[in-house]
Chain A
Amino acid sequence: MKHRILVACGCGAASSTFVAIRVAEALAERGIDVVATQCNLSDVASNLEGIDLILTTAKLEESFNVPSFLGVPFLTGIGTDQLLDQIVDVLMKK
């Protein structure tokens, strides 16, 4: 069963693409299949259909029913393991 992650950044370009690829790769290594889609931060609310988890590279001002995390560790490589543990936790509960 494929989980779906939404990656949002300030202008839908560089950082969210990179994070989307990285998180999908890292989760695949842990045997978890995900589809990562991207959008602008301002469009998160309208893209939540079927989404299990949100990753952002900027602070999310609103809170949604879907758990959200900062995806910056996927850019710096620092704290990735802890973040992945948290993500796996959330996905496995679904």
Chain B
Amino acid sequence: MTPIIVKTNIIAKDAYDAIRQLATQLYSLSLVTESFIEAVCQREKIYPTGLPFEGMGIAIPHTDPEHVIKNCFAIGKLSKPTNFHEMGNPENKIPVELIILMGINNKEEHLPYMKCILENMSSKSFIYAVRACEDSTGLKTLFGKCLSEDEGLINFE
């Protein structure tokens, strides 16, 4: 079971503020170390993770396994699009609406979740559904559907 936190209507002054809010939640649940919070921000500055999916910008910030206690995710929907730098093209900015903060401790365990999320994000109807989510219940339902098929129950914090 991989713990997944879901949060909507995130108000953040910039990308790093948004990341910190989500990372702090993971830390408060003892899923990551305190160093994780800044480590993700630092990594995002050097190797940005903004991804321009068709219809919505998302970001997949993460950092080294040494800061992660247990494989986990924090999925956050921003109240308004916030600029992240583009993965592989750091001078370019992408307006991001959804952050998938990943706590990766075990690559093999983590991969199926990441695969499922990325595959879903390639679907326009999924993106419309994400945009239409007004609260975390809606977002939980959406992601719960795509993640829990073979995995059994996923614990939403």
Residue interface bits A15-30, CB-to-B below 8 A is 1, else 0: 1011001000000000
Asked whether, in the complex, the Cβ of B52 is within 8 Å of the Cβ of A18, the reply is no
Asked whether, in the complex, the Cβ of B104 is within 8 Å of the Cβ of A9, the reply is no
Contacts A13-B64, A13-B65, A78-B54 given; does A56 touch B111 at CB 8 Å:
no
Q: Smallest distance from the beta carbon of B62 to chain A beta carbons, Å? A: 6
**Who on chain A is nearest to B110 by CB?**
A14
Bound together, the chains give a CA A58 to CA B53 distance in angstroms of: 17
Bound together, the chains give a CA A76 to CA B111 distance in angstroms of: 16
Further pairs besides A18-B114, A75-B87: 7, Cβ < 8 Å: A9-B47, A13-B62, A14-B107, A58-B47, A59-B90, A72-B88, A76-B53
Q: Can you list 27 residue pairs at the A/B interface with Cβ under 8 Å?
A: A10-B46, A11-B43, A11-B47, A11-B64, A13-B64, A14-B60, A14-B110, A14-B114, A17-B107, A18-B115, A18-B118, A41-B47, A56-B88, A57-B87, A57-B88, A58-B88, A59-B88, A59-B89, A70-B88, A71-B88, A72-B88, A75-B87, A77-B53, A77-B54, A77-B122, A78-B52, A78-B53
